[in-house]
Amino acid sequence: MAKKIIKSLPDMAKARNRVDLPTVKIDEVMVTTRVAKFAQGRRYLIKTFGCQANIRDEEIMAGYLEKAGFTRTEDEKAANLVIVNTCAVRENAEEKVLGEIGKYKANHAKDKSFVMCVCGCMMQEEGVAEKIVATYPYVNLIFGTHNVSNLLDLLDEHLEKNKDLIDVISYPGDIVENLPSSRLDPYKAFVNITYGCDKFCTYCIVPYTRGRERSRAKEDIIAECKELVEAGYQEITLLGQNVNSYGKDFKDGTSFADILEEVAKLGIPRLRFMTSHPWDFDDKMIDTIAKYPNIMHFIHLPVQSGSDEVLRRMGRRYDKKAYLDLVAKIRAKIPDCAISTDIIVGFPDETDADFEETLDVCRKVGYFSAFTFIYSPRKGTPAAVMKDDVDAKTKHERFVRLVATIEESVSAKANAMVGHTYAVLVDGPSKKDSDLLSGYTETNKLVHFKAPTYLKGHIVDVKIDESHTYSLIGTLVGDPLSYMAKDIAKCLGEEEVVKAYFAAKKAFDEDLSLKEINAKISAKQKEMMDFSAKNDTDNYEKAKAEYLKAKQSYDGHPLVNNLLAAQDDLEPLLKEVEARLK
């Protein structure tokens, strides 16, 4: 179609390339006058499918659009620019995506300047972009995971030439820093530490759609996390397809444990990470998690299968024993660590015996939670061409048995929480019942409880009353206002003037010469009273002179003056607190 400009199309062979080195680019975030003019008064909506990497891409695209002047809307009908951010991990995600694109036909019919974009992992698959433009002629921009930072350039070109563009690059991928970002949550943030994946598990499309494994520089990650801590974020999740690989590409000995430790030291109340590969989960990582109380005792450790033969064909690089040994090692050092997993059933030619091994792992580990999937062949991956004699019915039966087995441990662990109190980071009103709030425990368990909405974003104590296997019902422990007071105290405690005041007060309280002077002042005051009662003028005058001398040395004492100066500095802050509390 003449209206379309195909700048580049994906190529799975090129996507395997791990030879070229990545470059680090600093984005200047340029907004052309054309784009800025177009953005005026227009609203954008982004629909994201898939994993946290896609959610983070959504935040970055939202950052670009807001820099240009667009505002966010959740109302599909009111949107002037829509981005469908796709996932390619399993086939059913694709079906949902196609249905989603279909929804916006009416927007295009109503508004000729409406811009429809499709991006993400699915676009990186060969043939998909062509299929989409053939089915949905109102799609204006198609791009992939490697050129999210070109969003505004593509939009500019589309507006300038009045043409639709397809630009999906298949290359190992670069690292772009200084990305704009409009975060979806004011308390919980995702921070990318690695991009892409080099593991090439035989069933997985990710190494092709997201390119080579590449680590962000430590300073860039720390700077981003520091900003989040300063902005009051309560939780950071370090993200990577395989976080354990962090730093291996630097070839200088940097490891994931190093970055985990450095971020933990920044003082974020909750630190999480995902996903970990069981193959290179080293002791240093376990020790670091055990050492820092703000690193959550929750590890997502995908096992995928319990059968050594299936694991070998999946290219997972560990066997059942190695996985169970790792779990035992984690539990020995972090006894209360919750472990969750991903499991695929129905991998090509999986036998009953293979499947029983998977159930055995589930029983032995006792997962706290799990994501379970039926194997879905992905075109271009090695597993897609493997012989598979297992019928769909058997796969489905295994899936049902797997879910039931996992539920046994999930429910036992949840039941064991009843009667105990846990720290919960409050997300806001519960989706289940707006009279309740909901939040997550350190082990990622969803809890609903009654409490005032102003506790959103706070970490509060909740006593668990009931278990509903996948969620819990509890009661807030303590006075809700006390959590706010603690917060004010914490904020104030971090202010330099408050710190200076407490230091001056401590020096004042502990100084022995001042203690002596104060004792003298009190003694002479008492003598003055006694002599005055006896009408003994001479001695009264003598006591008075000594009192005045002591008072003078008190007033001129440097520690007294320091304290007074610190009090003066503190006063405006106290006035501000008073004003805010009114």
* Residues forming beta bridges with residue 142, ordered by sequence position: 118, 166
- Footprint (CB under 6 A) of ligand SF4, residues 169-198: 197
* CB nearer to ligand 5AD: pick between 395 and 456: 395
Residue 299 contacts ligand 5AD per CB under 6 A: no
C-beta of 68 vs 193, nearer to ligand SF4: 193
Whole-angstrom distance, CA of residue 289 vs CA of residue 427: 24
Residues 228-257 that bind ligand SF4 (CB under 6 A): 241-242
Q: Rounded to the nearest 5°, which phi and psi values hold at 228?
A: -65, -40
Total number of residues shown for the chain: 582
- Cα–Cα distance, 176 to 429 (Å, whole number): 36
Q: Which helix (H) or strand (E) holds 86?
A: strand 81-86
CA atoms of 447 and 424, how far apart (whole Å): 8
The distance of closest approach from Cβ of residue 245 to ligand SF4 in the complex, given in angstroms and rounded to an integer, is 9
Count of CB atoms situated within 10 Å of the CB of 159? 17
Residue 344 interacts with ligand 5AD (CB under 6 A)? Answer: yes
User: At closest approach, how far in Å is the CB of 171 from ligand SF4?
Assistant: 18
Q: Smaller CB distance to ligand 5AD: residue 56 or 90? A: 90
* 85 vs 381, beta carbon nearer ligand SF4: 381
Q: Both ends of the chain: CA-CA distance in Å?
A: 65
Q: Which is nearer to ligand SF4, 180 or 211 (CB)?
A: 211
How far apart (Å, rounded) are the C-alpha atoms in residues 208 and 195? 12
User: In the complex with ligand SF4, which residue's Cβ is closer, 197 or 324?
Assistant: 197
Question: Among the candidate windows 104-112, 374-382, 385-393, 476-484, which touches ligand 5AD by CB under 6 A?
Answer: 374-382
Q: Is 270 in the site for ligand SF4 (CB under 6 A)?
A: no
ω before 275 within 30° of 0 (cis)? yes
Task: Answer yes or no whether residue 201 interacts with ligand SF4 by CB under 6 A.
Answer: yes
Residue 501 touches ligand 5AD, criterion: CB under 6 A: no
Interatomic CA distance for residues 72 and 94, integer angstroms? 25
Residue 460 found at the interface with ligand 5AD (CB under 6 A): no
3-state secondary structure of 32: coil
With CA atoms as reference, report the closest residue to 395 among 375, 372, 377, 379. 375
Of ligand 5AD, ligand SF4, none, which one sits near residue 212, judging by CB under 5 to 8 A according to partner kind? none
Element (H, E) at 156: helix 151-161
Asked if 84 contacts 47 with a C-beta cutoff of 8 angstroms, the reply is yes
Size of the site for ligand SF4 (CB under 6 A): 10
- Residue 378 interacts with ligand 5AD (CB under 6 A)? yes
Residue 89 touches which of ligand 5AD, ligand SF4, none (CB < 5 to 8 A by kind)? Answer: ligand 5AD
Q: Is 277 in the site for ligand SF4 (CB under 6 A)?
A: yes
Binding site for ligand 5AD (CB under 6 A): 89-90, 203-204, 302, 304, 342, 344, 373, 375-376, 378
